Amino acid sequence: MSAAVYPQQLGMLIDGAWHFAGSRQTQPVVNPATEEILAQLPLATDADLDAALAAAQRAFGAWSMVSPWERARIMLKAADLIAARKPDIARMLTLENGKPLTDALGELDRVIETIVWCAEEGKRVYGRVMAPRSPGVSERTIKRPAGPVAAFAPWNFPAFLVTRKLAAALAAGCPVVVKPAEETPAACIEVVRAFQDAGVPAGVIGLVFGVPAHVSRRLIESPVIRKVSFTGSVPVGKLLCGMAGEQLKAVTMELGGHSPVLVFDDVDVQRVVKACVSFKFRNAGQVCLSPNRFFVHERIYDQFVAEFVRAAQEIRVGDGLDPSTQMGPLNNARRLAAAEAFVADAHSRDARVLTGGHRIGKRGYFYAPTVLAQLEPQASILHEEPFCPVVPVMPFATLDEAVAQANNVDFGLAAYAFTGSIRTASHLTEAFEAGWIGINGFTPSLADAPIGGLKQSGVGYEGGPEGLDAYLHTKYVSQACPL
């Protein structure tokens, strides 16, 4: 498959019109498997950003008054268009992100599911009727759109994470100015194009790219924006929270994770290893929900490690467009350097590299699936989100020890455990300091399930009714009979 399927002209959507490079500054979009330049991406000027904001402000009054049934009709049409265009969009996604084509197709399935679910859930934005305190007085609450939204999404699941924000905001009646990651623009452009082709009015969706710090500040500081939604790293999330906090704007922040996995000695080791290896090396470990720190009961530790290493060595790493590929490259040179740094730090502390620990080839950002053992507690990979295919595996002796190690980080996005004991599973459900918990299995983000982290892993929720509610505000109404 050649890069010919990738669009040679990338654009931004502002007030219903597509804007291309022209005299704007551009940034190359790089294929992480080959390091070849796919296209040049235009970067928004201040005038572009101001035009997108003004369009969102104009659109808010009309879109917020559109019936939820009509909004749903448009959104469901967009989902149908994405389904029809899925093969081409998936190839674009693989070319710019690196993930295997089968994974890109799976991501688009989740895009479609999310749009359909939000479209239908938007019809069920209910308030409540309260018991009146006085005769002749009715008391109730109603939910209404929060207002224009500034949304920021990363490159690891670009189509899905942009859609999760767009679909919830549109279903709630909010216009959105969205800035996806500059590394992966084409798939996001095609998602937005489907909404436009489905009939979303001009100004309801603005799509811009640019220097992240500049774009985020200009959007968040604008009085037009009433709500900020961001998915990404903790440091950037803190920065954007600070900007929004200066003006008391509502935020949703789905930030980083450093998920523990506890494996007890009452499980089928081979089956657990198979599940862990599959989920850990998904998208080359570049997943917020990725299992990152493995704690295995000492009685099965050696067996688990041997099986895990064997399975990691069997993973076929290569170009995502190759049907035999199971794991593609890292998305960019920054992540490749990070993987190398984590392994170098662990090695300097006398950790054992059981497999991997090196770049594959000299072209493309490929890194071998890596397993580390005998780590010192100070090893950087035990405290920083790795976002790469490097796995530390450590033994534990008791349940209390395992829980203490699992919770011994500033993150609290997800946590996992494998056990045959209902008592242990119930205990961990309460003891884990995380918002997304998996017992005896892994589950990716779902349209109808809320995801939100504890500690420094986030503020608020995305997905589920909770995620839709984030784009609404509640009004209390007391109405008495005429005097």
The CATH number of whichever domain residue 123 belongs to comes to 3.40.605.10
Count the residues in the chain: 483
Tell whether the torsion through CA atoms of 219, 223, 227 and 233 is positive or negative.
Answer: positive
The CA-based angle 214-258-281, given to 5 degrees, is 95
Together in a domain, 149 and 222: yes
Together in a domain, 263 and 374: yes
Annotated active-site residue 113? The verdict is: no
pTM score, whole prediction: 0.96
Q: Is 474 helix (H, G, I), strand (E, B) or coil?
A: strand
Asked if 145 contacts 172 with a C-beta cutoff of 8 angstroms, the reply is: yes
Task: Kindly state whether residue 482 falls inside one of the protein's structural domains.
Answer: no
Could you say which of 96, 121, 183, 254 is catalytic?
Answer: 254
Asked if 49 contacts 215 with a C-beta cutoff of 8 angstroms, the reply is: yes
What distance in Å separates the CA atoms of residue 167 and residue 195, rounded to the nearest whole number? 10
Task: Kindly state whether residue 451 falls inside one of the protein's structural domains.
Answer: no
Task: Kindly state whether residue 19 falls inside one of the protein's structural domains.
Answer: yes
Number of structural domains the chain divides into? 2
Tell whether the torsion through CA atoms of 311, 97, 453 and 471 is positive or negative.
Answer: negative
Determine phi and psi for 93, rounding to 5 degrees.
Answer: -60, -45
Together in a domain, 413 and 472: no
Together in a domain, 89 and 236: yes
Task: Kindly state whether residue 452 falls inside one of the protein's structural domains.
Answer: no
Task: Kindly state whether residue 483 falls inside one of the protein's structural domains.
Answer: no
Annotated active-site residue 35? The verdict is: no
Task: Kindly state whether residue 336 falls inside one of the protein's structural domains.
Answer: yes
Name which of 379, 372, 284 is nearest 336 in CA terms.
Answer: 284
Together in a domain, 440 and 462: no
Together in a domain, 374 and 297: yes
What distance in Å separates the CA atoms of residue 392 and residue 295, rounded to the nearest whole number? 9
Strand 411-412 relative to strand 414-418, pairing: unpaired
Q: How does pLDDT run across 401-439, given as a tens digit for each residue?
A: 999 999 999 999 999 999 999 999 999 999 999 999 999
Query: If you ran DSSP here, which 8-state letter would residue 201 be given?
Result: P
Both structure tokens of 290: 């990725």
User: How many C-beta atoms lie closer than 10 Å to residue 120's C-beta?
Assistant: 15
Q: Which domain holds residue 110?
A: 3-255+457-476
Helices (H) and strands (E) in the chain, counts: 13, 22
Name which of 459, 445, 472 is nearest 161 in CA terms.
Answer: 445
> Please, what are the averages of pLDDT over each run of 10 residues along the chain (483 residues)?
74 98 97 98 98 98 97 98 98 98 98 98 96 93 98 98 98 98 98 98 98 97 98 96 96 96 98 98 97 98 98 98 98 97 96 98 97 97 97 98 97 98 98 98 94 96 97 96 88
User: How many C-beta atoms lie closer than 10 Å to residue 96's C-beta?
Assistant: 28
Together in a domain, 244 and 286: no
Both structure tokens of 156: 């690891």
Task: Kindly state whether residue 71 falls inside one of the protein's structural domains.
Answer: yes
* Residues pairing with 477 in the sheet: 140
Query: If you ran DSSP here, which 8-state letter would residue 200 be given?
Result: P
How far are the Cα atoms of 246, 299, 406 from residue 424, in angstroms, in the given order? Answer: 44, 17, 14
Could you say which of 174, 188, 276, 288 is catalytic?
Answer: 288
Together in a domain, 238 and 324: no
Together in a domain, 227 and 276: no
Task: Kindly state whether residue 274 falls inside one of the protein's structural domains.
Answer: yes
Together in a domain, 267 and 346: yes
**Which residue carries 């009727």 as its tokens?**
129
Q: Residue 4: what pLDDT?
A: 57
Q: Residue 483: what pLDDT?
A: 83
Both structure tokens of 325: 């590929």
Q: For the domain that residue 351 is a member of, what is the CATH number?
A: 3.40.309.10
Query: If you ran DSSP here, which 8-state letter would residue 299 be given?
Result: T
Together in a domain, 202 and 263: no
Q: Is 47 helix (H, G, I), strand (E, B) or coil?
A: helix
**Which residue carries 């199971």 as its tokens?**
326
Together in a domain, 326 and 423: yes
